[in-house]
Structures are given as C-alpha cells and as structure tokens.
Structure 1
Amino acid sequence: MAKTINQLFEEVCKHESVLRLEGGKAQRVVQVLSLHILNSRGQVLFEDEQVLPDGRSRRRDVAVSEKMVGGEAWRGAVDRAVAEELGSALPAGYQVTVLEGPVVSTEYGSSMSYPGLTTQYTFHRVKARVSGIPEGPFSTTEERPGGQLLTKWVWKEPPPQEQEQQEQQ
C-alpha cells in the first residue's frame, strides 16, 4: 500500500507536505486536520474502510482527516474536508458548526504511505457538527484517477478522555 516517489513529489508540489533535512536525513512535514464530527448522540464519525478504484480495500479507523495545504487556515481546511470527504452524502445547503478547536499537537513517526521516511505530523483537532449528515452508517464516493473511491463511514463512541470532557461540560 506504499505510495511511489512520484506521488511524494506530487504531494510536495501541491504544498500538502514539505521535505526538509533533519540531522542529515530527509524528513516529511505534514499539517493534518483531524475533524471530530459529532452526531446527536455524541458519537464521532470514523472512516471505516476505503475501496480503491482498482477494487483493493483498506481498513482505516480514523476520524475525518485531511492534509492541510501550505498556509491554509484550519477553518478553511474544515470546510474543504467536509465538502471533499462527505459531500456526496450531504444535502445542498448543509451547515458546519465548529464546537471546539483547534487543539494542536505534534507527533513524529514513520509514514505508512512512505515507509522509512520519518514524518512530523502537526495535528489540528477540531470538533464540529454537520447538519444533514446521516445518523447511521453510510458511504461516500469521490472521483479519482481510474474510477471512484468508495469510503464507508461509521459512528463510534469518543475515546474515554473525550467522554470525560463532554460530561464535565
């Protein structure tokens, strides 16, 4: 499932990531919006599975996330993520209401997309509600080279530390 060097080059050209030299080694730097969309029961929307245009599928188990484009403000990234990731399942005129955010944190790790390439991830976690979003499991489609990407979405209870915060509010 690793991406190619050409895909990394394209990512850098589109300003979705930056490559820098750190301690004599290449390091990828990515700003990521982690959007926790809540439903009326306080559950968080998770991307469960993707079916790629070539028929391969991969498990995801992540909240709505989107690489931020160089210099993009978090609020613009929220609107873009909802439109790009969920647009095919939303009614015209839907509304995005930000409840909390952003909470910013930084992590370092080996990239799953580019094994062996250390990546600095700066996460911008935002909580929001989206009007008109289905309350049960649903799927979305996005046009991709070679066909459509099918994404399956499910609602899950928030992590325990978030549940405690919700109860205190």
Structure 2
Amino acid sequence: MVFENSDALAMWLAAWGVDMSLWGKDGNKTAVDLWLELQHGDCILQGPPPLRVVRVVQVVIQQEGKVLIEGAQEMGDGRLRSRRFFPAEKMKPGEPPAAAALRCLREELGVALEQVVILSEGGAQTEKGDSPSYPGLQTEYHFVEVAARIRGLSDQDFWHENLAHTLNDPVKRHHWTWVQADRNA
C-alpha cells in the first residue's frame, strides 16, 4: 500500500478502527514514524484490516557466558523506551539476513565490519500480535536469528549513538547490557 503522506496513512488506519491515541506517548512511535518505515521499505502494510508486516534479523552475541541485549532506547525527543531484546534490525526488501545483521551491528553498536564473524543463520520464526511501537496496530514479525562473534566488544554495559538517527530513525541512542546466556532476552 502506498500513502501520499503520514496524514493519509493515519486517516486510513483510523477508518479501519486503529486507535492511535497512545502513539507518540510513553516511548511509542508516531504515524510519521510508521510512514517513514513504509517509505524506507522497513515494513509493509496489508489489509484491510490493517496488518503491519516486518522482516527482522535478531543478532545473538555471546561473550564469556553472557548474551548482549538492548536494555533501553533513547528517542530523539528524550523519551526512554525500555527494551529486552537482542540487537535487531528491520530487513530491507531482498536483503539477506547476514547483510542486515552487519548493518544492525554497524548502526546500533558502532562495530566495524572487520570485527564481526557471522557464526550461523537460524531458521525463520513468525509471531503476530499488537505492536509495542504502534499500540493497536496488529503486526506480523518474521524473525531470522543470526549468531555472531564480535572482536573487541566491551564486556561492560554501554550506550551507543544510533547512526541511523540522522536518517530520520527516531531512536537516538541504544543502551546495551550483558545478561546471563541462559536468560531469555
């Protein structure tokens, strides 16, 4: 589906009963953010009724019995959004999982490609439910897991500026934390 602008998108969503009253509050994204995702190929919208479809690569990084997860995101407007996820990136149309994983690690952790060793790519998993970013919008996630080792990565918790923030990504900084490997992110 193609929408001329975020207002046209918001009108279509509202016409199909999507309640956007929580969008743009408490760390939730806005209709403008969703419209930009559509423009950049980060997701597609199907329907009616509205269904956001996202292909996501999750990068599992283990080090000394621990696994790296994103503890929080700082949005450009200063809002903090709590997270408990592996490093992840929306895949572009036709993009291989390993390429999306490398882009994720560069943008979100500031890792140089030479530091990364891709260990494996796992099978796909699909989940469907209410979007944590866009409450009230049903979303179908197609996850692919990529295991990687990163040479020289800090073993301490750290923040990193999101390199994609200058390209209209609403996330300004990522807070990364290590948790025991047997604990689910």
In the superposition, the TM-score normalised over structure 1's length comes to 0.82
Q: What's the CA shift for 1:148?
A: 8.0
Deviations 1:123-142 (A, max 9, x none): 00111101111112122112
Structure 1 counterpart of 2:43: 17
Runs of 4+ in 1 over 4 A off after TM superposition: 145-148
SS in 1 for 2:119: strand
Is residue 126 of structure 1 aligned with residue 146 of structure 2?
yes
1:63 aligns to 2:86 (yes or no): yes
1:31 aligns with 2:51: no
Letter in 2 for 1:35: V
Question: Which stretch of structure 1 is more off in the superposition, 9-18 or 145-154?
Answer: 145-154
Q: CA deviation at 1:160?
A: 5.8
Q: Deviations over 1:60-115 (max 9, x none)?
A: 1111011111111111101101100111xx4x564211222122100001111122
Match of 1:109 in 2: 129
**CA-atom RMSD, angstroms?**
2.2
What is the alpha-carbon distance in structure 2 between the residues aligned to residue 159 and residue 129 of structure 1? 17
- Matched residues in 2 for 1:121 and 1:114: separation? 13
The answer for the alignment partner of 1:166 in structure 2 is none
Residues in 1 aligned to 2:38 and 2:171: alpha-carbon distance in whole angstroms: 24
Residue 106 of structure 2 corresponds to 83
Q: Identity of paired residues, percent?
A: 35
Question: Of residues 32, 41, 44 in structure 2, which corresponds to 1:6?
Answer: 32
2:70 partner letter: E
Write the distance in 1 (CA, Å) between the matches of 2:58 and 2:151.
19
More strand by proportion, 1 or 2?
1
**Consecutive unaligned residues in structure 1, runs of 5 or more:** 162-169
Opposite residue 80 of structure 1, the aligned amino acid is R
Please tell me the residue identity of whatever aligns with 2:87: V
Aligned partners of 1:74 and 1:30: how far apart in 2? 13
The residue type paired with residue 110 of structure 1 is D
Distance 1:50 1:128 in 2: 22
Distance 1:26 1:71, change over 3 A: same
Q: Unpaired runs of 5+ in structure 2?
A: 1-26
What is the CA distance between 1:50 and its match in structure 2? Answer: 2.1
Q: Which of the numbers 72, 80, 86 marks the counterpart of 2:95? A: 72
Paired positions, count:
155
